[in-house]
Amino acid sequence: MLSQRTIEVIKSTVPVLEIHGTAITTRFYDMLFTAHPELLHIFNHANQKQGKQQTALANAVYAAALHIDRLEMILPVVKQIAHKHRSLGVQAEHYPIVGKYLLAAIKDVLGDAASEDILQAWGEAYGVIADAFIGIEADMYEQAKSQAGGWAGFRPFRIIQKVKESDVITSFYITPLDGGALAAFEPGQYISVNVQIPGEEHAHIRQYSLSDASDKPYYRISVKREDAIADRPAGKVSVYLHEQKEVGDILPISAPAGDFTLDQQDSRPVVLISGGVGLTPMVSMLNTLAVTKPARQVTFIHAARNGQLHAFKQQVETIAQQHSNLSIHWCYEKPNEQDLTEQAFHKQGYIDLNWLQTVVPAKEACYYFCGPVPFMKAINGDLLEWGIPAEDIHYEFFGPAGSL
């Protein structure tokens, strides 16, 4: 428990963190990686270069300060981050290192404004928060290892099939190299893939949603190739997987993780909304429902730029033909000539509330969505405007957690 004095001091830093939070976390990562370059094997370099990780950490530190007297308020975020940490292989011994350089960065950025009282209070608070992470992650590591078919760390899997799903998305079907059992997973969860790209000094770890149901003799991930756009560089791992990894090659992966999962005990209608590669966890949810809850009413809505970039279209349409309780709706931002000729979509442009209200048969439902951040902000705003309760709205960020 934190002392009242510590809580008061931490609370006093909230305005400062709101202004200087990103500067502090940027400096923190600079200092951390200079002193411990081996940690670059864990962190996503692309998120570092784009500033996403720095912003996400700044938001987390700010939230911790804001709710320091009610840390239970941030427990859902702690668990979400802990899932990512377990999937990446973050260990208890990493936390003192992080704490050391986080305090050093606060002092470095704030200078004399970071008094001894402030540094001592943040040191105490960090210790409490770190202990919470360590405890939760220890339980997650044990659960991942002890479950049927489970394992610790990264387990080698062999690619048994590689399937092009669209112009930019390719699926990889993988099975354990040791021939052992597969751990079950919840629809919506992800795995981490650890690759050592030839010529690269550090390993690269990326997290990809499992895109099929859990009752299969394989795992499937469906990876979008991230090509260079303007000043954004190409995705090293996605391009490497698309261009270099073939059937027979090995991919080390961690056990399934993540808390963005389908509530299979809820019998109410469910609405699955996706944009771009955000459909991968939605397809996992849909494939699971088709087998385990075939009577549950499902509305599947997907937005793509055009038909060439629309993955899993035929598979989803086949399921719809077999399940009268499933309705599907395609929204193409810029349909091509073939899309127009074949009338291959239901709406042109963007998903909006007026259209949603015409295709969702029952407002009282559970809503799950995933896609690019602007897409998710729009969907979240539409659902809230419609009056959907926040507890019925579920979403997942690909990459560092953000805010809608």
Q: What CATH number does residue 318 fall under?
A: 3.40.50.80
The response to whether 202 counts as a known ligand-binding position is no
Domain endpoint, select from 119, 146, 173: 146
Q: What is the pLDDT of residues 80-91, one digit of tens each?
A: 889 999 999 999
At residue 46, the pLDDT reads: 67
Catalytic residue selected from 62, 95, 141, 173: 95
Residue 187 scores a pLDDT above 90: yes
**Residue 95 falls in the annotated catalytic set:** yes
Q: What CATH number does residue 228 fall under?
A: 2.40.30.10
Q: How many domains does the chain have?
A: 3
Is 375 inside any structural domain?
Answer: yes
Residues 6+ apart with CB under 8 A from 241: 170, 172, 193, 195, 223
Is 108 inside any structural domain?
Answer: yes
The response to whether 87 counts as a known ligand-binding position is no
The response to whether 190 counts as a known ligand-binding position is yes
At residue 162, the pLDDT reads: 98
Is 356 inside any structural domain?
Answer: yes
Domain endpoint, select from 127, 146, 165: 146
**Residue 137 falls in the annotated catalytic set:** yes
212 and 115 share one domain = no
Catalytic residue selected from 29, 101, 126, 137: 137
Residue 403 banded pLDDT, cuts 50, 70, 90: low
23 and 115 share one domain = yes
Residue 94 scores a pLDDT above 60: yes
241 and 276 share one domain = no
244 and 279 share one domain = no
67 and 105 share one domain = yes
Is 194 inside any structural domain?
Answer: yes
Which of 161-165, 225-229, 285-289, 386-390 has the least mean pLDDT? 225-229
Is 401 inside any structural domain?
Answer: no
Alpha carbon separation from 32 to 72, 95, 103 (Å, rounded) = 28, 12, 11
12 and 133 share one domain = yes
* Highest mean predicted confidence (pLDDT) among 60-69, 74-83, 112-121: 112-121
Rounded percentage of the chain residues whose pLDDT exceeds 90:
79
The response to whether 402 counts as a known ligand-binding position is no
Average pLDDT, the chain: 93
Domain that holds residue 185: 154-254
Rounded percentage of the chain residues whose pLDDT exceeds 70:
97
Domain endpoint, select from 201, 224, 254: 254
Using CA atoms, how far apart are residues 274 and 376, in angstroms rounded to an integer? 9
Is 339 inside any structural domain?
Answer: yes
357 and 275 share one domain = yes
The response to whether 280 counts as a known ligand-binding position is yes
Q: What mean pLDDT is predicted for residues 370-383?
A: 95
At residue 404, the pLDDT reads: 62
The response to whether 176 counts as a known ligand-binding position is no
